[in-house]
């Protein structure tokens, strides 16, 4: 972050100007918090990211200069902060080890005539004729957040940037220094686990 000699926030008496971080907090704090929460899953971490975002926004206020809405600008900073957080926590993850453990082999029969087929007890069950119609079901949103929180951090991060932020695979490979093949493997594992978790918690087989 650039350090500026007069890089101070406005005091209480000048809070009400359009470019006050306290006003940003009032007007956009909830949206920023929810955006962080669906990506990182942890309330305390989401709060810290909101705070970091507002401080960074204040420090970079000259580059804003009303070119877009304050919210658009703050959201862009928050998304960057979330990716920076993922990259920082990434270093603590034993990535190669994680990629060699085939945790999905549980889903499939490994030997005999039916090798490579779904195990009957693990096979995808019927979610209903139109799972798409259930997407606005609020419980499902909360089930997705819970399931994401149960994933290893690196898999959850990769899923969030790909499917929630909508980054391209090229962008993700660059951000996280991954080969395309490693990225596809991680996404496959994240999706397979989330699917299974959602099936257990969000979708019950039709009775």
Residues in 80-99 that interact with other proteins by CB under 8 A? none
Please give the Cα distance from 184 to 187 (Å, whole number): 5
Please give the Cα distance from 198 to 145 (Å, whole number): 10
- 157 touching other proteins, by CB under 8 A: no
Please give the Cα distance from 158 to 30 (Å, whole number): 24
Please give the Cα distance from 67 to 112 (Å, whole number): 64
The single residue among 149, 177, 184, 200 that binds other proteins, judged by CB under 8 A, is 184
Instruction: Count how many Cα atoms sit within 13 Å of the Cα of residue 130 in the half-sphere of its side chain.
Output: 6
How near is the Cβ of 199 to other proteins at its closest, in Å? Answer: 8
Q: Interface residues with other proteins (CB under 8 A)?
A: 7-12, 21-22, 25, 29-31, 33-35, 37-38, 43, 47, 50-51, 54-55, 58, 75, 104-105, 107-108, 115-118, 123-127, 131-132, 134-136, 138, 140-141, 144-145, 159, 162-166, 169, 180, 183-185, 187-188, 191-192, 194-195, 198-199
């Amino acid at each position: 972050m650039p350090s500026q000699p007069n890089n101070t926030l406005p005091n209480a008496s000048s809070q009400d100007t359009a470019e006050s971080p306290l006003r940003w907090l009032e007007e956009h704090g909830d949206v920023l918090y929810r955006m962080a929460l669906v990506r990182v899953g942890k309330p305390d971490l989401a709060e810290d990211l909101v705070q970091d975002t507002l401080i960074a926004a204040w420090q970079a206020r000259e580059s804003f200069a009303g070119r877009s809405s304050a919210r658009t600008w703050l959201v862009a900073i928050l998304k960057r902060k979330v990716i920076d957080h993922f990259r920082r926590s990434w270093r603590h993850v034993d990535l190669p080890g994680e990629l060699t453990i085939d945790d999905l082999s549980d889903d499939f029969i490994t030997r005999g005539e039916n090798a490579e087929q779904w195990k009957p007890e693990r096979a995808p069950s019927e979610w209903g004729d139109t799972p798409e119609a259930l997407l606005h079901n609020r419980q499902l949103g909360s089930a997705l957040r819970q399931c994401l929180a149960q994933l290893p951090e690196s898999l959850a991060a990769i899923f969030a940037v790909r499917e929630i932020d909508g980054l391209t695979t090229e962008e993700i490979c660059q951000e996280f220094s991954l080969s395309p093949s490693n990225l596809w493997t991680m996404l496959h594992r994240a999706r397979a686990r989330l699917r299974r978790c959602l099936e257990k918690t969000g979708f019950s087989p039709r009775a």
